Amino acid sequence: MMYAQVTGWGSALPSRVMTNQDLEKLVETSDEWIRSRTGISERRIAGPKESTSTLAIRAAKYALQVADLNPRELDLVIVATTTPDYPMPSVAALVQDGIGAARAGAFDLNAACSGFVYALSVANGMIASGSAENVLIVGAETLSRWVDWTDRGTCVLFGDGAGALILQRSDLPTGLRSCILGSDGSGASLLNVPAGGTRTPITAEIIQNRQNFIKMKGPEVYRFAVSVMAQAAQQALTAAGMTADDIDLFIPHQANLRIIQSAMKTLKVPPEKVFINVQHYGNTSAASIPIALCEAIAEGRVKAGSNLLLVGFGAGLSWGSAVLNWGVTPSSVTDSWWRSMVRNVQGREAAVRSFALRAHRRLELVGTHALRRFNGWTEA
């Protein structure tokens, strides 16, 4: 039996902080309203040179550093995101190139805020089936680019960031103990970006009506979130043969403090067993669970042998929950000069490799053109 052990983790957040007071200058709202309804005080907003892939690459590099893994050894890169850099190619392809994962396949996965649990499940399955040995999964979002900054019902909720995990094949019986995934597309219109896809392409009128931004029916999503979070968590516990008492730390999707508190109350989980950082980052969608996990590790709340319960929900509607048995002792990464030099070389190698591949492609094209012209001349 093969298990998928988490051996590396990392997160990346934009440096720009947007506080509730900053939002008071943009829309008719107040710090008091936002904090009392959502628990959010501030969020991070990507700078002009940042995007989902740049945040994902930063998080991935930290995770590789913790795992002490050469990116060339990765078999697969999965990026869970709803806010890709482009409609195509995938963010995962950009990450694969950016970190120099020369041998890896790469694809994006869109399950909105539940995406990271979905990615964890897919990576676990690939490793357990023997199809992959080393997998990088990233949850990364730049929701600030899709938020309507004139809509106070949504713009106060979201933020940008990325979190990554490395999963490696292991004989030790740790890793995913259970995972349940769910979807209810009948609720698709409750939280969506109505235009910009193939059904409703962007036109001047669409832009004028602001249909290319996130729309949400807040109270309906709230009701769904509270019930599905408790239900999905309970199902994952049952599937793992555990109760809430067996879990050392609950790491829920960080959308709204009230949603988390209400769901945890239903599950009878004491507050000290729940990790919360929504106050600092708002809802970072697929990135929220891995960012929270990285912070929980940094705070010493995750140890070898810890049982973690991850639970997410979001657009789709979608949800996912997993019980994860943590296998390694999280120690802080003390970088020797040698390791940091090797990593530096690997980083440069990725850039050089990418440049060389692009140059090779261009030369090939020039060569083909030249050959065609030459053949044209000789045939004429």
Q: C-beta of 156: minimal distance to ligand COA in Å?
A: 4
Q: Is 179 a catalytic residue?
A: no
CA angle at 133 for the pair 181 and 350, rounded to the nearest 5°: 105
Tell me: does residue 221 bind ligand COA (CB under 6 A): yes
Residue closer to ligand COA by CB (options 153, 194) is 153
Give the pair of three-digit tokens for residue 160. Answer: 């940008």
Q: Is 280 a catalytic residue?
A: no
Tell me: does residue 29 bind ligand COA (CB under 6 A): yes
Q: Are 86 and 182 in contact (CB under 8 A)?
A: no
Tell me: does residue 314 bind ligand COA (CB under 6 A): yes
For residue 322, give the H/E element and its range: strand 318-325
Site string for ligand COA, 265-294 (x = CB under 6 A): ------------------x-----------
The whole-angstrom separation of Cα 176 and Cα 191 is: 29
Query: Residue 121 CA to chain centroid, in angstroms?
Result: 13
For the chain, strand residue ranges (E) read: 3-12, 16-19, 42-45, 76-80, 105-109, 134-142, 160-170, 175-183, 191-192, 215-216, 249-252, 307-314, 318-325
Q: C-beta of 20: minimal distance to ligand COA in Å?
A: 9
CA angle at 332 for the pair 329 and 335, rounded to the nearest 5°: 125
Tell me: does residue 146 bind ligand COA (CB under 6 A): no
Q: Which residues, at least 6 apart from 250, have a Cβ–Cβ distance to it below 8 Å?
A: 233, 264, 267, 269, 273, 274, 275, 308, 309, 311
Strands 105-109 and 76-80: parallel
Tell me: does residue 323 bind ligand COA (CB under 6 A): no
Tell me: does residue 113 bind ligand COA (CB under 6 A): yes
Which of 219, 245, 268, 336 touches ligand COA (CB under 6 A)?
Answer: 219
Residue closer to ligand COA by CB (options 11, 283) is 283
Strands 3-12 and 160-170: antiparallel
SS3 state of residue 134: strand
Residue closer to ligand COA by CB (options 61, 253) is 253
Which of 218, 242, 266, 346 touches ligand COA (CB under 6 A)?
Answer: 218
Peptide bond into 191 cis (omega under 30): no
Tell me: does residue 153 bind ligand COA (CB under 6 A): yes
Pick the catalytic residue from 124, 134, 283, 325.
283
Rg of the chain over Cα atoms, rounded to whole angstroms, equals 22
Q: Which stretch binds ligand COA (CB under 6 A): 44-52, 170-178, 211-219, 268-276?
A: 211-219
Q: C-beta of 290: minimal distance to ligand COA in Å?
A: 15
Q: C-beta of 225: minimal distance to ligand COA in Å?
A: 5
Give the pair of three-digit tokens for residue 356. Answer: 């060389």
Q: Is 283 a catalytic residue?
A: yes
For residue 308, give the H/E element and its range: strand 307-314
State the burial class of residue 307 (Cβ atoms within 10 Å of its Cβ: 0-12, 13-18, 19+).
middle
Phi, psi dihedral angles at 139 (to 5 degrees): -110, 120
Which of 60, 132, 135, 225 touches ligand COA (CB under 6 A)?
Answer: 225
Residue closer to ligand COA by CB (options 126, 162) is 162
Cα dihedral 227/231/233/238 (nearest 10): 170
Q: C-beta of 273: minimal distance to ligand COA in Å?
A: 21
Q: Which stretch binds ligand COA (CB under 6 A): 70-78, 138-146, 255-263, 290-298?
A: 255-263
Tell me: does residue 152 bind ligand COA (CB under 6 A): yes
Q: If we measure between CA atoms, which residue out of 212, 167, 214, 197 comes closest to residue 328?
A: 167
Pick the catalytic residue from 124, 253, 256, 325.
253
Which of 4, 91, 156, 166 touches ligand COA (CB under 6 A)?
Answer: 156
Tell me: does residue 135 bind ligand COA (CB under 6 A): no
Q: C-beta of 113: minimal distance to ligand COA in Å?
A: 4
Residues that bind ligand COA (CB under 6 A): 29, 33-34, 37-38, 113, 152-153, 156, 191, 216, 218-219, 221-222, 225, 255-256, 259, 283, 314
Active-site positions read 113, 253, 283
